[in-house]
Amino acid sequence: MIELTALAPGTRVRVTQQLPQTHTVWSTAVEGTIVRYRQAKTGSWFAHSKGDRLWLDRLELKKDDGELVELNLDRYSVVDAI
């Protein structure tokens, strides 16, 4: 897994995201080239964080077919350089 600070535009990555369930784990992966990595606020007014917003790590990828994907990264997200 690469550090979030190493998420430079142009880097090719595979992002695996998992959603734990009671008896299983749902998992999905997407591959592409990093367009942008940033922290962006949500519209969550109850977060009581900086600026009364919840800030999320967001990674924008361009897949091989040209599709643009924006991922919200969390503790279950694994980003691997490929």
**What's the rounded Cα separation, in Å, for the pair 10 and 71?**
16
Identify the band that residue 7 occupies on the pLDDT scale cut at 50, 70 and 90.
confident
Domains observed in the chain: 4-81 (2.30.30)
Q: Cβ(82)–Cβ(15) under 8 Å?
A: no
Nearest to 60 by CA among 49, 72, 70: 70
Q: What is the mean pLDDT of residues 67-73?
A: 95
Is pTM beyond 0.85 here?
no
Lowest mean pLDDT among 1-5, 11-15, 39-43, 73-77: 1-5
Per-residue DSSP letters for 61-75? Answer: EE-TTS-EEEEEE-T
Where does the pLDDT of residue 77 fall: very low under 50, low under 70, confident under 90, or very high at 90 and above? very high
